[in-house]
């Protein structure tokens, strides 16, 4: 079984047209950085506040990915 690592993903949900700008930080487990970003984006799409039409109020922008090691 492949080894998973812990990642701290931070960024923002931003919409330049409406001025919406919200920061986020998530801790996720993933196989690598790309997998962790996929998990974080999926989580945000399912759990972040949405507009009346059910869509996110902006685009997800990943600003920082840190691999965290557990002891």
pLDDT at 71 over 60: no
Mean pLDDT for the stretch of residues 9-37: 95
Using alpha carbons, list the distances in angstroms from residue 2 to 5, 16, 20.
10, 40, 39
- pLDDT attached to residue 39: 97
The burial class, CB within 10 Å (0-12 / 13-18 / 19+), for 8 is middle
The pTM of the full predicted model, rounded to 2 decimals, is 0.85
Structural domains for the chain:
5-68 (3.10.20.10)
pLDDT at 59 over 60: yes
Mean pLDDT for the stretch of residues 13-17: 93
């Amino acid at each position: 079984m492949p080894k998973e690592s812990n990642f701290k993903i931070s960024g923002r949900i931003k919409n330049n047209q409406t001025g919406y700008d919200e920061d986020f930080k998530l801790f996720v487990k993933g196989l690598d950085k790309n997998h962790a970003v996929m998990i974080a984006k999926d989580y945000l799409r399912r759990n972040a506040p949405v507009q009346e039409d059910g869509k996110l109020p902006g685009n997800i922008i990943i600003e920082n990915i840190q691999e965290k090691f557990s002891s």
